[in-house]
């Protein structure tokens, strides 16, 4: 019985330590670049302030980047965000109720608009809703 309890405690401790890690979102490389920015490898939720650099073009069938933190810069680094198929049902970049957001340097954000949806088809390449002190620079949207 004592061995079973010890093993159980050991498993719980292991699960606890595995669960502890970076607060960075999925698809963000944990080691920062020399300038303090973080590389992003795919669509994700950006829920921590910081500078994120997309290191490859990405495609999606829904919203690609959902920014849920203030003080975020998303640098496309010359890459594209593309909806898959005729049009993705979602936004390329979705930002609601945030402050100090910068979206920059995307060659293209394309194929967002929800073609084929019946109602409430209000999707965009970039959606800023109730977002203040923010900017979009050097971005092509089609």
Does 142 have pLDDT greater than 80?
Answer: no
From residue 75, alpha-carbon distances to 2, 41, 54, 126, 131 in Å are: 55, 12, 6, 13, 18
Sort residue 120 into left (φ over 0), alpha (ψ -120 to 50) or beta. left
Q: What is the pLDDT of residues 35-49, one digit of tens each?
A: 999 999 999 999 999
Q: What is the pLDDT of residues 91-106, one digit of tens each?
A: 899 999 999 999 999 9
Q: What is the pLDDT of residues 7-35, one digit of tens each?
A: 333 333 343 333 434 456 677 888 889 99
Q: How far apart are CA 15 and CA 27, in angstroms?
A: 21
DSSP 111: -
pTM: 0.79
Collapsed DSSP state (helix, strand, coil) of residue 82: strand
């Amino acid at each position: 019985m004592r061995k079973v309890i010890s093993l159980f405690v050991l498993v719980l401790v292991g699960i606890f330590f595995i669960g502890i890690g970076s607060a960075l979102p999925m698809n963000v490389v944990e080691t920062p670049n020399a300038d303090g920015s973080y590389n992003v490898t795919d669509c994700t939720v950006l829920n921590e302030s910081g500078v994120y650099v997309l290191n490859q073009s990405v495609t999606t069938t829904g919203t690609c980047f959902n920014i849920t933190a203030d003080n975020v810069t998303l640098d496309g680094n010359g890459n594209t965000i593309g909806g898959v198929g005729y049009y993705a049902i979602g936004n390329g970049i979705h930002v609601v109720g945030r402050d100090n957001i910068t979206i920059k340097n995307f060659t293209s954000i394309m194929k967002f608009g929800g073609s084929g949806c019946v109602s409430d088809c209000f999707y965009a390449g970039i959606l800023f809703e109730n977002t203040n002190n923010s900017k979009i620079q050097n971005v092509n949207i089609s």
